[in-house]
Amino acid sequence: MSRSSGHQPPRWRLLRVSVSYHRGMPDDAPSPSAQSRVSRPASIGDARFTSRSVTELKLPHGVVATRRSVMRKGALVGASIPAALLMFGFVARLLLGDDNGSTIAFVFALIALPALPIVGVPAETDTGRIIAAVIMSLVAWLAIGAFASLKVAKRPLVGWKEWTSQYWPIAAGMVTGAILALVLAAVMLGAL
């Protein structure tokens, strides 16, 4: 690519993480030379690590920029996932019609807005209750995304994969609680 076009491809910094373990070396023993480490593999139990078993991670603009991106955008990404599910439910309702589409849209709305059962939306559907459920759910999703970012910040290597591993268990717990609250309300009202 020519430099005169003004567009430069992203610079990828390759991070190499290697694992080595030396069994039985006293603390004051000199470390083996780089040449001897490359020539003989280290072993941990049955696993063997050689110079070829180096894990490579592609991080655009480096480790610090990726950490900063996760910390800045974690809360917004945490709220955008349920928003996308809500839009998917709305599109499904438009495409499938009122019968099947309404059921699918309600399921996705319950996932995206877990505060719906708290304000009693299935039984009472006025505008104030729906607005309250939207605001409460938005605050909850933003808090879960920010919490996942803060938990991930304690790790030495931070990326969106690590953020996701912290986000999904909490999000699944919140959605499961909303579904259980809806089932409990249906049982108490005699619908089930």
Local confidence band at 53 (pLDDT 50, 70, 90 cut-offs): very low
**Average pLDDT estimate for 102-115:** 88
- Token representation of residue 23: 């069994």
Same domain, 172 and 139: yes
pLDDT at 24 over 70: no
DSSP 40: S
Same domain, 79 and 53: no
pLDDT given at position 29? 47
Q: Residues 125-136, buried b or exposed e (16+ Cβ, 10 A)? A: eeeebbeebbeb
Same domain, 91 and 121: yes
The proportion of the chain whose per-residue pLDDT surpasses 70, expressed as a percent, equals 68
pLDDT given at position 35? 52
Local confidence band at 60 (pLDDT 50, 70, 90 cut-offs): low
Same domain, 83 and 118: yes
pLDDT given at position 135? 95
Angstrom distances, CA of residue 165 to CA of 8, 56, 149, 152, 170 = 33, 20, 11, 9, 10
Same domain, 50 and 83: no
Same domain, 30 and 75: no
Same domain, 117 and 41: no
Same domain, 185 and 146: yes
DSSP output for 118-174: HHTTTT---HHHHHHHHHHHHHHHHHHHHHHHHHHTTSSS--HHHHHHHHHHHHHHH
Same domain, 102 and 74: yes
Same domain, 163 and 147: yes
pLDDT at 4 over 60: no
Q: Are 109 and 125 in contact (CB under 8 A)?
A: no
**How many domains, the chain?**
2
Condensed to tens digits (0 to 9), the pLDDT of residues 40-49 reads 444 444 444 4
Given 58, 88, 105, which residue is the final one in a domain? Answer: 58
Give the domain range for residue 101.
Answer: 63-189
pLDDT at 50 over 90: no
Helices 160-189, 127-152: crossing angle, 10 deg rounding: 150
The residue ranking higher by pLDDT, 55 or 119, is 119
Three-state DSSP state, 177 = helix
Same domain, 146 and 84: yes
pTM of the model: 0.64
Same domain, 7 and 44: yes
